[in-house]
Amino acid sequence: MGVTTKDLARICGVSLGTIDRAFRNRPGIKTETRDRILAAAREYGYKPNLLARNLKFQRTGDIGLVVHDLENEFFAQLVNAIQEIAWKRDCFLQIAISRRDHQRERAALEHMAGRNVDGILLFPAGKGEDFDAFLTGLDRPIVTIANKVSPLWPFVGLSDRPVMRRLTEAVIAKGYRRLVFVGPLEARSEGINLYEIEERYAGFVEAVDAAPGVERHLAAGGDYLEQVCALGLKEARTAVLCCSDIFALELLNDFRGRGLSVPGDVGLAGFDSIDALRFISPRITTVEYPIQKMGELAFELLAAGQVGAELPQIELEPKILWGESI
Amino acid sequence: MGVTTKDLARICGVSLGTIDRAFRNRPGIKTETRDRILAAAREYGYKPNLLARNLKFQRTGDIGLVVHDLENEFFAQLVNAIQEIAWKRDCFLQIAISRRDHQRERAALEHMAGRNVDGILLFPAGKGEDFDAFLTGLDRPIVTIANKVSPLWPFVGLSDRPVMRRLTEAVIAKGYRRLVFVGPLEARSEGINLYEIEERYAGFVEAVDAAPGVERHLAAGGDYLEQVCALGLKEARTAVLCCSDIFALELLNDFRGRGLSVPGDVGLAGFDSIDALRFISPRITTVEYPIQKMGELAFELLAAGQVGAELPQIELEPKILWGESI
DNA sequence: CTGAAAGCGCTAACAA
DNA sequence: TTGTTAGCGCTTTCAG
């Protein structure tokens, strides 16, 4: 155990009150006494016990951040962006990973709430009434990011559906007659929050269904590579639109293995604009995710403490970044 | 504020002791009373205040993890690996990012120590006597990862120097006569911990200097791209060995832009074996970093609490993964 | 200017 | 089987 205020009081021959006055720069203490105490503190390596302090204050200055994963560069960038703001605001970030797993997400959230974080930024894996109730029970300010849970919670995300519609329309305009959407929607039944993917798919569907004579396909399972290739890609002018860049990269690799050229034999687009795309050729068409801005907004919303119970639902407008892949 | 044990006691008309017996499954309580309390707890949404509990126990079950960055996929993989073990051990991970910045690193460490984490896993940015003293002052078990700080601290890393020597020797054996090492060693003076890069460079130097008639170069600055290209890559059989894959990827991009082919015009190798390499062609020669194992070992060391003050210094042996780039 | 004492919420030893 | 009480370390009010 380290040195406590009590120890210091004994060492310096003063009372606890005086120790506190010294550390917290409160008036009513001789400068000399203060100096003596601070010197002793340094000498004995006093470190305040934040648990005790926070228990007293009922606030910690920490905020919790829960994300799905870190290996997807997208999340890494998001965490970094938020971390940066938190640092500027002199606020400590507690980061936890849910792995898109309900149990873990809840465990992490519960843990953070128990630790009295002042607020939580959540990239949700869960949804539904149960989840709403659970979040309410945490009794903390929460801001949801990217995946909407319900209008009960302040939200910062993307206008996923319109942008995907625009992208799809543009692809159709380029002459593609068969469009495939790739996204892990097969997990839908399990109560997993797939808001973004569903929205993107919806935008895709809207665009294709408005275009006469264009085929629409969905590759939703873990075997999406096989599903896509089973279509016989060379038979029609086919474009594959992925709900995220990592799927596009996997497909590109697979196409290469099969001797299919992009965009010669098949068109390909991703979503998120992860940094790794810089190294890939052909340059993949994707959608720029305003991660920085999203992180900042989410943080602001949390810090502002949604006064007046407004529960803002913000949708940022992303840009389409045209590459050479479609 | 939420419901507390005291509230529950009042609500149920029992004493605090009984409440505690109910929650902590201690003997000496009627099952009926217990059930009544647990029911009330659920009904009123009781959430234990972990700050208070931990203050009592003087331990938290949390461990801290400090890494440089998350955007480098390498760290993301490391964090994920450790997170996985922590989850299995029912232990909460507090993740913080230092950005290789002394101030931030210290702030994060101090914060974690103040929060009474039970131990700290540190991928260090600092080094030197000051830093040793600082770490000692934290008065917590610490395990250092990858970058050695000093023999004072348990350490899990790589046999960076031997593996880099082996790689370099093999490259020379392939007929390359001019070897360039790329790594940000220019920061050396600022007291930043560059242990791994320095070790790798040392291995590189050893190998080249043992080979008569082979030129040795170092591109250490932020302008390494220019430095490398200024050598006139086509003039001699040149190989560029990078201290990490991300540099290799940048170089590959740059070479492409200049119409240089890899490995036709210049050989290229990385280090770390990040996942993104899967998507790159030509397949880049790299060194497999046993991240999983490293994370597990570090965690074990921390959990074991280095009894007997042994201060193990473990060096894992990585494999060279030959690709097509050299 | 300084000390004594109570309390944050939870726990556990000791009484009853 | 249950209640009382002291205490984790820090903060603050109220006396002195």
Residue that wins the pLDDT comparison between B82 and B25: B82
Provide DSSP, A235-273.
TS-EEEEESSHHHHHHHHHHHHHTT--TTTTEEEE-SB-
Higher pLDDT, A32 or B182: B182
Q: pLDDT at residue B127 above 90?
A: yes
Q: Which one-letter amino acid corresponds to residue B57?
A: F
The Cα A35–Cα A18 span in angstroms is 12
Query: Which phi-psi region, left, alpha or beta, contains residue A24 (left: φ > 0; alpha: ψ -120 to 50)?
Result: alpha
The structural domains of chain A, with segments of one domain joined by +, span: 5-48, 62-156+291-314, 160-287
Q: At what angle do helices A5-12 and A16-23 cross, to 10 degrees?
A: 110
Per-residue pLDDT reduced to its tens digit, B247-278:
999 999 999 999 999 999 999 999 999 999 99
pLDDT for the residue numbered A235: 81
Task: Take residue A32 and report the two structure tokens written for it.
Answer: 């000399």
Q: What is residue A141's predicted lDDT score, i.e. its pLDDT? A: 94
Question: Is the pLDDT reported for residue A130 higher than 90?
Answer: yes
Lowest mean pLDDT among A143-147, A235-239, B270-274: A235-239
Is the model's pLDDT at A305 over the cut of 80? no
| Per-residue model confidence (pLDDT) at position B264 | 93
What band does A267 get if pLDDT is binned at 50, 70 and 90? very high
Give the pLDDT band (50/70/90) at residue A137: very high
The CATH superfamily of A62-156+291-314 is: Response regulator (3.40.50.2300)
Name the percent of chain B lying above pLDDT 90: 83
pLDDT at B324: 96
All residues of chain A having their beta carbon less than 8 Å from the beta carbon of residue B79 are 70, 97
**pLDDT at residue A158, rounded to an integer:** 96
How confident is the model at residue A251, as a pLDDT?
97
Question: Are the beta carbons of B276 and A281 separated by less than 8 Å?
Answer: no
Average pLDDT over residues B80-94: 92
Distance B24 CA to C12 C1' (A): 11
* Collapsed DSSP state (helix, strand, coil) of residue A304: helix
Specify the pLDDT at position A234. Answer: 81
pLDDT given for residue B191 in this prediction: 78
Q: Residue B317: what pLDDT? A: 95
Checking if the pLDDT of A128 tops 80, the result is yes
> Using the beta-carbon criterion (under 8 Å), do A76 and B71 form an inter-chain contact?
yes
Q: Does nucleic acid strand C have an atom less than 7 angstroms from the CB of A56?
A: yes
Task: Identify the CATH number of the domain defined by range B160-287.
Answer: 3.40.50.2300
Give the mean model confidence (pLDDT) for residues B225-238.
88
Residue B153 pLDDT: 95
Per-residue pLDDT for B308 more than 60? no
pLDDT at A269 over 80: yes
Instruction: List the single range of A144-153, A181-190, B313-322 with lowest mean pLDDT.
Output: A181-190
Q: Find all residues with CB under 8 Å of B17, minimum gap 6, and list them.
A: none
Task: Give the model confidence (pLDDT) of A18-29 as tens digits.
Answer: 999 999 888 888
> Which pLDDT does position A46 carry in this prediction?
92
Give mean pLDDT, residues A30-54. 92
**From the Cβ of B16, is strand C under 7 Å away?**
yes
* Arithmetic mean of pLDDT over chain B: 93
pLDDT value at position B96?
92
Question: Residue B12 is encoded by which pair of tokens?
Answer: 């149920």
Residue B125 CA: distances (Å) to CA of A126, B128, B188, B290: 36, 11, 12, 21
pTM surpassing 0.85?
Answer: yes
Give which of A93, A103, A148, A94 is closest to A124, Cα–Cα. A148
- The pLDDT assigned to B83 comes to 93
* Sequence-ordered strand ranges (E) for chain A: 62-67, 92-97, 119-122, 142-145, 155-158, 178-182, 215-219, 238-242, 266-269, 286-288, 313-316, 319-321
Half-sphere exposure of B266 (CA within 13 A, CB side): 27
Number of A to B CB contacts under 8 A, please give it. 114
- Does the structure show a pLDDT above 90 at A304? no
The pLDDT score that the predictor gives to residue A25 is 86
Q: Is any atom of nucleic acid chain D found less than 7 Å from the CB of residue B33?
A: yes
pLDDT band for position B176 (cuts 50, 70, 90):
very high
Residue B307 has pLDDT above 60, yes or no: no
The rounded distance, in Å, linking the Cα atoms of A239 and A260 is: 13
Using a pLDDT cut of 90, give the percent of chain A over it.
83
Can you give the distance from the CA of residue A20 to the C1' of nucleotide D11 in angstroms? 7
CA nearest to B278 within chain A: A253
- Model confidence band, residue A271 (pLDDT cutoffs 50, 70, 90): very high
Confidence of residue B234 (pLDDT cuts 50, 70, 90): confident
Write down which residues 21-80 in B have CB closer than 7 A to strand C: 23-24, 26, 46, 48-49, 52-53, 55-57
The answer to whether A17 CB sits below 7 Å from nucleic acid chain C is: yes
pLDDT at position A274 is 92
More confident residue, B222 or B283: B283
DSSP state of A191: T
Best B4, B5, B50 member to test A by mutation, with max A CBs in 10 Å, is B50
Q: Average pLDDT over chain A, rounded to whole?
A: 93
Q: How many CB atoms lie within 10 A of CB B164?
A: 30
For position B164, what pLDDT does the model report? Answer: 98
β-pair type (B62-67, B119-122): parallel
pLDDT digits (tens, 9 = 90+) for B10-65: 999 999 999 999 999 888 888 999 999 999 999 998 999 999 999 999 899 999 99
pLDDT at A307: 57
